[in-house]
A and B are shown apart, each in its own frame.
Chain A
């Protein structure tokens, strides 16, 4: 996102955001081998599924942490509207992570492998990049970040489903891909409810930077 604005947009409508959580909270996945699953996979398949779901859990947790950091930063810079939005997003991601724990019947968070989880890039796909925020950003920008994150997550699970050699993992990846696809649609709907920023949104009459 390129920096840019002075006017704050009007309050974002939370309705679509609530639906973002509701979509995943009210439709429990039936992962093979999980508590909600019907079939009992082999020990090897179960291990693969556990590893896969641990990675999915880590992805949600990383995303929640980043949104929480963004919310803190925005509160510090008195951009309370966007702070509240990031706080809400962090809560959604936390709930998704808790949902994974519940579905897998885990009472403790899964432990990452010694070398950490492998991601397509430095960070988990659903984590919004640390440098793509601005102190004058508006709800529309925050939602664009969320949209990009959900789209990356959807692609990630799609690619995993395509590459999986284990049927349990493939099914779980497809379930998660479908869920992320729902989130993409919901964020898009949410974006329609917030004003698009003016082109000069990042203009600051008292800028921190004077070296330009």
Chain B
């Protein structure tokens, strides 16, 4: 008789850590965390083969709330760390996560070049159009007329458009999701993980503390009425002309990912060091 018991399927709970999030109650990031764990359960990659890399900000606390390996890095440099990790350890599933300030402002340049390089990682941006952790400053995606004591009358500065920037820079998978749709977001994240190359997923994640007006997002968000396209020009037109609340995969390209590290990854630190000797 065969006594070998097949391993139990991984569930969303398999990817949660014992740490409780310290986000404000009502924050969309709770929902995104739930979506990330559900997505990982869908792709069934063991937690020890997943690394969640982040920068700085409320949303960048997410690695600690998963049971995966994590790297809570330097402000704006999550993509640099995640890219290096994936190139060195291509067998790992690398998720990079953060917010709009971390990703589009401090890390804006890394964002462009991560899209361009097309390394096989998934970048999740929890976009709430504000710097929440530092108490409500305008971020790159803040509307120009958003009035606050910190920017009376609004900044008057045109908002950054991450989806079209990602597309123009070469991201191979571009999607928009909404924290109020955790199951749909999980599907999108799973699709992004499975898709080869750089997958960019912008998640509208309301900040109920500094942007309580964003509670209205759930009235605006709606599934994209058309299927994903692999035509960047068509995708760009859709993204540039939609209402900003089109939820779903908007572009899925077939560009070849950046080749992984050629080495076998088995070198000792001493052997690796010799490669860098001057």
Contacts and interface: CB of A to CB of B under 8 A. Distances in A.
B160 interface: no
B148 A211 contact: yes
Interface in B167-221: 178-184, 187, 206, 208-210, 212, 215, 218, 221
Nearest to B183: A116
Contacts of B215: 131
Interface in A58-106: 62, 65, 69-70, 72-77
B262 interface: no
Interface in B10-35: 20-28, 30-31, 34
Interface residues of B, number: 33
A28 interface: no
Contact of A72 (B20, B178, B181, B184): B20
Contacts of A208: 24, 135, 209
Nearest to B8: A108
A211 B150 contact: yes
B22 A76 contact: yes
B136 interface: yes
A130 B179 contact: yes
A76 B20 CA distance: 7
B149 interface: yes
Given A70-B25, A135-B25, A129 B149 contact: no
Interface of B is mostly: loop
B209 A129 contact: no
Contact of B26 (A62, A134, A209, A210): A134
Contacts of A73: 20-21, 23-25, 30
A68 to B, nearest CB: 10
A135 B181 CA distance: 22
B20 A129 contact: no
B187 A122 contact: no
B26 A132 contact: yes
Most buried by B among A116, A130, A135: A130
Interface string A163-197: 00000000000000000000000000000000000
Contacts of B23: 73
A129 B208 CA distance: 13
A122 B31 CA distance: 12
B25 A122 contact: no
B206 A211 contact: no
Contacts of A159: none
Given A130-B26, A209-B209, A75 B180 contact: no
B26 A122 contact: no
B179 to A, nearest CB: 7
A137 to B, nearest CB: 8
Interface in A104-146: 115-117, 122-123, 129-135, 137
A212 interface: yes
B223 to A, nearest CB: 9
Contacts of A116: 183-184, 187
B180 A122 contact: yes
A122 B21 contact: no
Nearest to B135: A210
A131 B187 contact: no
Q: What are the 6 tightest A-B residue pairs by CB atom distance, in nearest-first order?
A: A122-B181, A73-B25, A211-B148, A133-B25, A72-B20, A211-B136
6 contacts: A69-B34, A70-B25, A73-B30, A123-B180, A130-B28, A210-B135
Given A129-B180, A129-B218, A134-B25, 11 more contacts: A70-B25, A73-B23, A77-B25, A122-B180, A122-B218, A130-B31, A130-B179, A133-B26, A135-B25, A209-B209, A209-B210
